[in-house]
Structure 1
Amino acid sequence: MIRGILLDLAGVLYDGGRAIDGSVRAVARLTDAGVPLRFVTNSTRAPRRKLLQKLQQMGFRIGPDQLSTPASAACAALTASGRRPHLLIHPDLTEDFADLSEGRAGTSVVIGDAAEYFTYDAMNSAFRALTDGADLLALANNRSFRDADGALSIDIGAYVAALEYASGQKATILGKPARGFFEAALASMGVDAAEAVIIGDDAEADVAGALSAGLGRAVLVRTGKYSKGDEARFTPAPSLVADNLAEAVDLLLPEITSQQ
């Protein structure tokens, strides 16, 4: 039984600045079928305001309450701990951390995909904060992503590993594949994990991560960062494999409509 669906963004809904063929219509079909949707991303360069704007301009019907980002998870963690952030992120993302710096005891290093801002000085400043007692919050831990030029580029995971190695401290991962990230998205829909499906292009973080977190099924799409053989590269393996989001919806929609 399918009571809710989690959808990855980059590589599933869009590549670069354009929607993947059929993806806008595929999301509209799910929405029209009445199935609750949450859009879950490990994107950490753009603030949620710009992500929503980008999706809406592409034609996707999505509201602010439907988007789950690692930055939102980090803000919740910082609020709960009463710590202030030492940010090692892309400057565009800083607006998501507004009002979290003042009047707080203790520090958490928050690392996201800083891209060209991963300088030695920035990394060393974060390292020194860790040696002074800060804990380490990683917005994600992905190995690679499909860049705007169509090729794979190194992602945040290597930089997280560098800080872990230098400081001897283990990072708390806040985005996919962290169980808590999936659980928060499901809780916002009131959906049990066993009755949820995720559709993603990352066999490790999206598929294996979600299944390990208890989701009932996971669909791997052959778009975005997918590479030949990914369906057999990680455990647990995907429940289904589809060429793209449109085909994934074709596979799932008959079951959804039969429940109504």
Structure 2
Amino acid sequence: MIKAILFDISGVLYIDRQPIAGAVELIKTLRQSSIPMRFVTNTSRSTSQSVFAELTRMGFDIKPEEVFTAPVAIKSLCQAKGYRPFCLIHPDLMPEFSDLDQSRPNAVIVTDAAELFNYQQLNQAFSLLMDGAVLLGIGRNRYFKSAGQLQLDAGPFIQALEYAADVKAQIIGKPDASFFQAAVSSLNVRPDEVLMIGDDVASDVVGAINAGLQACLVRTGKFLPQDEKEAKSANALIADSVVEAVNQAFDLEY
């Protein structure tokens, strides 16, 4: 029985800053029905505060503490381990890490850095790794969808650094099981009572199922038709949209 929901954000609740049809009303109805929710994302172009502000601007009824982002999880790890990171990240995300000591780096953080994925930056990261720095990645996502086009995400660059420096990245974010478990632990339910809804078959769907959750792949956002085979192999649900996905799990009226 489903008792709580984890929502991926971009591609599931909205596309290019426009809410999916019925999504705003859906979250309002779930809120009125007292169904616990968390909004989980590997986004690496926005701080957690920006994610919350953007969702509320679009009309979504959410609370700041319901937003779980991979960058915040990485920052918490750095604070716990005493890591001084070299941040190969998007300029818009830099405020999230501004209060960390970044002198004499002993760690490399890689998120989607867009134009900062240049030779100079990548080579500096490589040099630090060769000197013993640990590699922290936001996720192994291969691509995301923006302005109607698929674009390279952080995953390929993390793998390139792993190969070059002969190291293994610690992934903090989807599809890492610890990320899902952290979100579930705040819901006071068992993992198998939580439904993860996402548009990325590997990070959202298979990752959630491997962490003991249930999952549903939606045919919006970065979804590609060939993803259905992998979703079915993992015994995941498939729905046309987040609204249909929730309707499969709950009998709601809105």
Question: Which TM-score band applies after superposition, normalised by the shorter structure?
Answer: over 0.9
Deviating beyond 2 angstroms after TM superposition, the runs of 4 or more aligned structure 1 residues are: 233-239
The secondary structure found in structure 2 opposite 1:96 is: helix
In structure 2, C-alpha distance between the alignment counterparts of 1:15 and 1:238, rounded to whole Å: 26
The secondary structure found in structure 1 opposite 2:186 is: helix
Identity %: 43
Residues 231 and 238 of structure 2 are in contact (CA less than 8 Å); yes or no, is this contact kept in structure 1?
no
Aligned residue in 1 for 2:55: 55
In the alignment, is residue 143 of structure 1 matched against residue 142 of structure 2? yes
Give TM-score, length-normalised by structure 2: 0.95
The secondary structure found in structure 1 opposite 2:45 is: coil
Offset, 1:127: 0.6
Residues 231 and 237 of structure 2 are in contact (CA less than 8 Å); yes or no, is this contact kept in structure 1?
no
RMSD between superposed Cα atoms in Å:
1.7
Offset, 1:151: 1.4
The secondary structure found in structure 1 opposite 2:250 is: helix
Offset, 1:158: 0.6
Offset, 1:106: 6.1
Aligned residue in 2 for 1:84: 84
Once the two structures are superposed, residues 69-116 of structure 1 have per-residue CA deviations (whole angstroms, 9 ceiling, x without a partner) of 0111101111111111110001110111122116x8862100000011
In structure 1, C-alpha distance between the alignment counterparts of 2:165 and 2:63, rounded to whole Å: 40
Offset, 1:233: 2.6
Aligned residue in 1 for 2:198: 200
Residues 82 and 106 of structure 1 are in contact (CA less than 8 Å); yes or no, is this contact kept in structure 2?
no
2:44 aligned partner, one-letter code: T
Aligned residue in 1 for 2:123: 124
Aligned residues: 253
In the alignment, is residue 68 of structure 1 matched against residue 68 of structure 2? yes
Offset, 1:251: 1.4
Once the two structures are superposed, residues 3-40 of structure 1 have per-residue CA deviations (whole angstroms, 9 ceiling, x without a partner) of 21100001000101211111111111221211110000
The secondary structure found in structure 2 opposite 1:46 is: coil
> Where does the alignment leave 5 or more consecutive residues of structure 1 unmatched?
none
In the alignment, is residue 251 of structure 1 matched against residue 248 of structure 2? yes
In structure 2, C-alpha distance between the alignment counterparts of 1:170 and 1:145, rounded to whole Å: 23
In the alignment, is residue 233 of structure 1 matched against residue 230 of structure 2? yes
Give TM-score, length-normalised by structure 1: 0.93
Once the two structures are superposed, residues 36-57 of structure 1 have per-residue CA deviations (whole angstroms, 9 ceiling, x without a partner) of 1000001101111111111000
| Range moving further from structure 2, 24-33 or 120-129 | 24-33
1:93 aligned partner, one-letter code: L
